[in-house]
Every structure is written in C-alpha cells, then in structure tokens.
Amino acid sequence: MTQQTTSSTRPLRVSRAQAPLSGSIRVPGDKSISHRALMFASLAKGTTHISGLLEGEDVLCTAAAMRALGADAVQEGPGQWRVSGPGVGQLKEPDNVLDMGNSGTAARLLSGILASHGMTSVMTGDASLRRRPMKRVMDPLAGTGATFLAREGGRLPMAIRGLADPKPLDYRLPVASAQVKSAVLLAGLNAVGETRVEEPVATRDHTENMLRHFGAEVSVEKTPDGGRIIRLQGRPNLVARDVAVPGDPSSAAFPLVAALLVAGSDITIFGVGLNPLRTGLFTTLQEMGAQLEILNARTEGGEPVGDLRVRASALKGVEVPPERAPSMIDEYPVLAVAAAYASGVSRFCGVEELRVKESDRLAATVALLENNGVRTAVEGNDMIVYGTAGHIPGGGKVETHMDHRLAMSASVMGLVAEKPVEIDDTSFIETSFPQYLDLMNSIGAGFVA
C-alpha cells in the first residue's frame, strides 16, 4: 500500500501477486526513437508527422527544447505530433535555459546539435541529471571548435558556445555508447566533409537508421574485432518524412519479466520494437529458459517490430557476454531480478556503463537485491547474482535514487518476493513509462497507489 509522504514523493509497497498475470497490452513508444524523431524532424525541411511518440516527461522536455530552438512541434492527438523545422544549421539561439528533465539521452544528443550551431545555449536538468557526467560528450565535441563550461566533472548546468562552421570529427569511442556516438554524428550534420565514428562494440543504431530515413548519406563498416565504423557526409538536405515509433523494448521488459516470474502467467505485448541492437534481454531470457515467442514479425517505419507472448517459466542462471551489454544496457536491473528468482548463478560481464546511468545503476542494483535478501558480488566490471530458486526473501526498502528503471524493477521483484518490498519513490516513473502502475494492474499486478 502506498503512503504519501510529500506532495512530490510517491512511495509504494508491493506484495506478492495473488493470481497469475494475464491479458494483452501495449507499452509506450520507444524512448530512444521518440527523442530522435523530434530532433531530426526539427532539423529537416518540411513537416514530419510522428505517430506513437512516447509522451513521458523526458520526451516532452525534448519537444520543448526543440521549440525553443525554432522548430514548430505540436501535439495533434495522443502520440500524434506534427513537427516542422528550419533545416540543418538554421536553428535559433534559445531565449532561456533548456531544461532536459531526467533524460541523459536528450542532453547528450542535443549537445551535438548545439555544438554545431553558431549560438550560445545553456542546458540543465533535474537533480538526477545534474549528477550525471557530460564530459564524455564534451571532450569529443570540443574537436568541432565548440567551447563548453560546466560544473566540476562536466556536470550540468552546462553552457555551450557552438560554431556555425564546425569541424568534422574523427572519433573512436573508448567505451561503447550510443549516446556519445549519436552526439558526434549530430554535430557532423552541420560540418563540411565527412564525420567518422568508430565504436568498439556495435551499439543501438537508431540514429543511423533515422539519418537515412530523413535523407542523409550514412555508411557502416564492420571492423575485424566486432566494432563498427560509421561515416556521415556533412550538410545533407534532410527532408521531412513521417515516423512511426514502435513500442519500447526497454519498457516491455518489466511486464515481460513479471509474467515470466509470477506462476501461471500468460500475457501478450503488442507492437514491440525488435531492433537486433536492442534485444539482448530477449536473447538472454530465452537462454535462461523463458517461454518467450515473437509473433507477427514485421517492419514499421524502418524498424523491425513484433508481438511478444510471454508465459511463466522456470529460469536458470546464465552468463551474459560483455559484447551483449550495449544491446540491453537499460535492462540489467530487471534482468537481475529475474536472475535472483532463477536457479543457479548468473554473471553479467562488462557492465561498466551502468555506473553512469540515472544513478550508479550497478551499485543501486546490488543494493536492490541485497536489501531484499539476495546475495550478489561485483568483480571488476562483472556483476554476479546468486539465484534463490524462487525464494527471494524480500522485506527490504529500495532506494531508487530517482532512477525510473530501478523503481520498476523493484516493483517486479515485489510481485514474487516472500515479504513485501518497500520502494521509496515511484513519482519519476512517468519520465519514461506513463501510467506504468495502471498498465501493470490491467494484467493483474494488484499495485495499490
């Protein structure tokens, strides 16, 4: 049962599910694609119609930022947006500070756009985002000639003085990151010549897909060691094209794992994005023994999409290789819950990227489990979870650190823990998954808010 402690904090107490989860649902639109759709439509000439846009707080902050930069972004119905932009290099200097809310994706991607326009701008965000490091995008983007002024450690608020004629970048990512890669490519849109990015491991490629969708010339070359080299020809004539946003696989992860763990459950999730660089969780769960079927596979808006049927399953421990981490980086907390409920030991290799998410997500995930009686270990950049074979003790309080994925993962754990799980705050779930509690209740979760 939820107890309100302040007007802005919404704690939640989750007890073991009393019946199987069942029914059919749709999850909100893909968050990564929604941010990019608004940004690219604002840089294209003409009018783009976007359907299925995620209308969580993070994405609405992106829409507001693009309006402040001169784009016309208007909601025409639930998930339906019309966006008209002035074109590459034609954005205007904002009159006020750009508030990016909780979204590291939006802040880092927009940094690339702001660095390559002749203007001065300032970005900030909520308390969680202001703790997140931006130096990882500041350093490569400084190569365009842009200047940055931020708080210690490269943290927001951050001022950017961009150039109307930025230099093209040739950058090798030291750590795989779709956000840093995308920031560099976005900066390259307004640079004369070729921008080249090399990533050590393939990361989600929504930026490359959407650049092509709007008419940019992008090539991708695989490297012998499993990485990729992306090349973008600068100053393309981006032309408005409609975008259909698929259901977010990262959001689908929570009802999906809940259905795998709650005995007797059988649910279907319609219209989920199945980009192969985003489906590491699905692959891993199938390796653990999950009854997870992909039905009605199809392509919508240049992205693979399908329906997922999920049935309760007996899961076993698994070792996840480090090269799979970029394709499931946001799903490790809820995967850790699945591993805690499984039989045997699970090892998640190469998860250092978790340390720079909305929280230190690695430390917070360990605390989430250990506070509820599950043994874990961290060895270097690997996380180890010792499964309880269906007997998570529970009874602990989860500190979410304003991290929406930790809050939702804790809610899933509460459905199968032997004692109720206390979550300190769920208010910020709205940033990525509007009406999450209602949707989970529609399939029988029994959350009481």
pTM for this predicted structure: 0.86
Is 449's pLDDT higher than 80?
A: no
- pLDDT at res. 301: 66
Q: Report, as an integer, the average pLDDT of 43-49.
A: 96
> 12-27+247-443 has which CATH code?
3.65.10.10
Is 2's pLDDT higher than 50?
A: no
Listed range (175-179, 197-201, 408-412) with the worst mean pLDDT: 175-179
Is 300's pLDDT higher than 90?
A: no
Q: Extract the annotated binding site for phosphoenolpyruvate.
A: 31, 104, 132, 179, 361, 405
Active site (catalytic) residues: 330
Q: Extract the annotated binding site for 3-phosphoshikimate.
A: 31-32, 36, 177, 179, 330, 357
> 31-244 has which CATH code?
3.65.10.10
pLDDT single digits (tens) 278-299: 999 999 999 999 999 999 999 8
- pLDDT at res. 5: 39
Is 336's pLDDT higher than 90?
A: yes
Q: Extract the annotated binding site.
A: 31-32, 36, 104, 132, 177, 179, 330, 357, 361, 405
Is 4's pLDDT higher than 70?
A: no
Quickly state the pLDDT bin for 352 (edges 50, 70, 90). Answer: confident
- pLDDT at res. 356: 67
* Domain ranges (residues) in the chain: 12-27+247-443, 31-244
Q: Tell me, yes or no, if the two domains 12-27+247-443 and 31-244 fold the same way.
A: yes
Neighbours of 324 (CB within 10 A): 18
Is 6's pLDDT higher than 50?
A: no
Is 255's pLDDT higher than 50?
A: yes
- pLDDT at res. 430: 87
pLDDT single digits (tens) 167-196: 999 999 998 899 999 999 999 999 999 999
Quickly state the pLDDT bin for 217 (edges 50, 70, 90). Answer: very high
- pLDDT at res. 360: 86
